[in-house]
Structure 1
Amino acid sequence: MIDWERGTVVSIIQEREGYQEIVVSLENGELERAVHYPNIGRRLHRGEQVYLNTTAVRLGLGTGGYHFVAAPEKKGFIDQSPKGHIMKLRYTPYQMRILAVEEEAHPAHEIMKEASTLEGIPVVAAELHSMVSAITATIAYLSNGKAKIAYVMTDGAALPLALSHAVADLKEKGLLTGTVTVGHAFGGDLEAVNLYSGLLAARHILKADVIVAAMGPGVVGTGTRFGHSGVEQGQVLNAIHSLGGRPIACLRMSFADSRERHWGVSHHSLTALSRVALKPAWVALPLLDENKAGYVEKQLRESGITRGHRLVTADGSVVKRAAERYNVSLKTMGRPPEKDPEFFLSCGAAGLVAWGFCKRRAFNFAKSHVRDSWTNISVM
């Protein structure tokens, strides 16, 4: 069931490519916030009447308090998409055509015809979108801004990439070389039919030295072992392995979350690595105090992860210096690093491990000033 309401655009708070954040006056006189995606139709202006999907806000779900514009009352839609033949959001009223990198009409079609391997580059598989900024900033900092970092966004959560303020900020600061949206996710610099093509496009078209792969904002969880969108992390690791990349798992870790299932290493990560990932990955572990490290080690051992994967410890505190260097805002579930330090230490560790593989590939990052190190503690 969908809750529909009508409103009038009172003001436009913020806009960028593919995104408008507006204030609407509802029929009951209340002023509320809404998001509109011009890529689906056209840009909105003050005074226009719009139809709104208000379902999530009325249910009290974590959408940031925003409604979503379904359509302006006066149509006037303009097809702004490239002239491709691949449909995303298929068989819905919002299905749109995009020009996918795999299509013959795409300039990179010949490249994609030949692409079949990631050529050994590191790919960090992250579960939550809030990890993307921390991992990306860490790699950029460690490489002194020279690493080409691509973000591949899956369709496990939000589908429009434009919804991500984090990605917009990373691109504005030049920390991301480019983005790829795969499956039904849309709005990236490149569009791909599936995860495999998306990863290959990041390597062979964007020329990425390292890739961060994660869903967009809006993780779904139910408290059951498999009933959460985080299981896709295992599927992403499988894809990286099968394409000849270096799969690196960023653990969802917290000692601040009030929910027992997310204490230490989240059950999301434990399930993805122990039951979904079919081949060994490098699992990045941050340096923790003795008690917390012991708790995490027990979780990984009991879940079988220590037997099935390669564990690597790294000093994830580098993430703090990276965030300060680039003025990147870090937050997860509303908590900043000082409220949930282990979450971001885990992201920093994953970025440091990825950078370690970059250096092993002998990329020429001249006069690197970074002295951080990472050490294998268990390679199996």
Structure 2
Amino acid sequence: MRIRREWPGAVELDVVTQEGQARALAYPALVGRPEPGDTVLLNTTALAMGLGTGGYAMVVAIPERLPEDPQGPGHLVKARYTPLQATVFGADEQDSPHHDILAEADSLDGMPVVVADLHSALPAILCGLYGSRPGARVAYVMLDGGALPAWFSMSCARLREAGWLCGVVTAGQAFGGDVETVTTHTGLLAARHVLEADVAVVTQGPGNLGGGTRWGFSGVSAGEAVNAAAVLSGRPVAALRVSEGDRRERHVGVSHHSLTAYGRVALAPARVAVPELPGDFGRRVIEQVGPLGERHELVPVPVDGLHEALKNSPVRLSTMGRGLEEDLAYFLASAAAGRLAAGLLPQGAALS
């Protein structure tokens, strides 16, 4: 029916189906650009299942007007062996101008790497980081546990426009970033040596999968990212998933996602940012996070000034449908990790 809005890589539509009107999302690089009046083939899984993240019907094709064949370069296939597999130009493939750099790269040179469970932590981490080091150069490494196309993230697009990200690296099966890589390891190395970042932030793409069991959630990748950062001589900083507004008991205080990912999956030590939250809730967080101190360094981080910094975020803050004031503890914990990472950057020296 109409185009609602668009951002780099994505077009949001109003469509009519047999069931009525709906919102839909198209990625022009995959399917071409829909225009009012077009017939579109839709995947309506998100609508049928009532999924919270996005809630879009996804445009699979414009049958009467197929997109141009990709012209290359690029031989790296992502979303492999699915009907919508995409061929991208990988930074670490042989024809890439970055191949020689990454072929020799084996170290992050001590770069701080902030690791978080949810994509919604990204802008909050940046609020905390830029509040202390406004001149830092930050890259986002997007894992494939949530959305695969980086284009789905309106936050990434807005953060790039605001100059808060020097680039997006899509790792694993994720695609659509400024730099494409095969693994989390090459994603981190590309952030450092291709995008020349001072700090990398690593999370899943928008959306995550969890079955309510100890191990059955996509956020275990946070622990694996800590390991990758450490083995590459980076300095991992673990952002805690903390909530005072989640109705699910397993996520109140410090989420079991963080306790499992950092306490069981992360085999290398990290600095865990422990926000100094007030009152009984703050004491609960300290008590819950205590066992992580057997492997990691628990670093108390003051949260004074972070609420104001979060209010000035260039993108809307939201996690699981809750905004800043509805779950302030979540965003403060993420911002605290950014503040901790800022403190690891060299003082009084030019950043890379």
TM-score class normalised by the smaller sequence: over 0.9
TM-score (norm: length of structure 1): 0.89
Is 1:363 aligned to residue 349 of structure 2?
yes
Q: TM-score, normalised on structure 2?
A: 0.96
The answer to whether the 8 A contact 1:85-1:99 is kept is yes
Which range moves more in the overlay, 321-330 or 218-227?
A: 321-330
CA distance in 2, matches of 1:313, 1:166: 28
Is this contact kept in 1: 2:158–2:314, CA < 8 A? no
Assess if the C-alpha contact under 8 Å between 1:39 and 1:81 holds in 2: no
Contact 1:41 1:80 survives alignment (8 Å): no
- Which residue in the other structure is 1:205 paired with? 194
- Give the drift of 1:213: 0.5
CA contact 2:41–2:63 (8 Å) conserved in 1: yes
CA distance in 2, matches of 1:364, 1:95: 42
Structure 1 residue matching 2:61: 3-state secondary structure: strand
- Equivalent residues of 2:245, 2:327 under 8 A apart: yes
Q: 1:204-283 maps to which residues of 2 (within 5 A)? A: 204-283=193-272
Distance 1:345 1:326, change over 3 A: closer
Aligned to 2:174: 185
Contact residue 43 and residue 58 of structure 2 kept, 8 A: yes
Q: For residue 18 of structure 1, what is the amino acid of its counterpart?
A: G
Aligned match of 1:288 in 266, 274, 277?
277
Q: Tell me the distance in 2 between the aligned counterparts of 1:189 and 1:18.
A: 11
Which moves more between the two structures, 72-81 or 264-273?
A: 72-81
Equivalent residue of 2:81, what SS? coil
In the comparison of the two structures, how many residue pairs are matched? 351
Q: Which runs of 5+ in 1 are unaligned?
A: 1-9, 366-380
Give yes or no for contact 2:126–2:335 (8 Å, CA) kept in 1.
Answer: no
- Taking the aligned partners of 2:313 and 2:89, their CA distance within structure 1 comes to 33
In structure 2, runs of 5+ residues without a counterpart are none
One-letter code of the match for 2:263? S
Moved more, 41-50 or 195-204: 41-50
What is the letter of the counterpart of residue 88 of structure 2?
I
Provide Cα deviations, 1:252-286, integer angstroms capped at 9, x if missing partner. Answer: 00111111100100000000011100011100011
3-state SS of paired residue (2:59):
strand
Q: Counterpart of 1:12?
A: 3
In 2, Cα distance between equivalents of 1:343 and 1:211: 20
Secondary structure of the residue aligned to 2:52 is coil
Three-state SS of the structure 2 residue aligned to 1:293 is helix
Superposition RMSD in Å: 1.5
1:156 aligns to 2:134 (yes or no): no
**What letter corresponds to residue 211 of structure 1 in structure 2?**
A
Q: Distance in 1 between matches of 2:16 and 2:208?
A: 29
What amino acid sits opposite 2:12 in the alignment?
Answer: E
2:37 paired with 1:51: no
Task: For residue 77 of structure 1, report the CA deviation from its aligned partner.
Answer: 1.8
In structure 2, the residue matched to 1:37 is 27
C-alpha contact (below 8 Å) 1:57/1:63 kept by paired residues? no
Structure 2: distance between partners of 1:236 and 1:322: 27
CA distance in 2, matches of 1:279, 1:179: 25
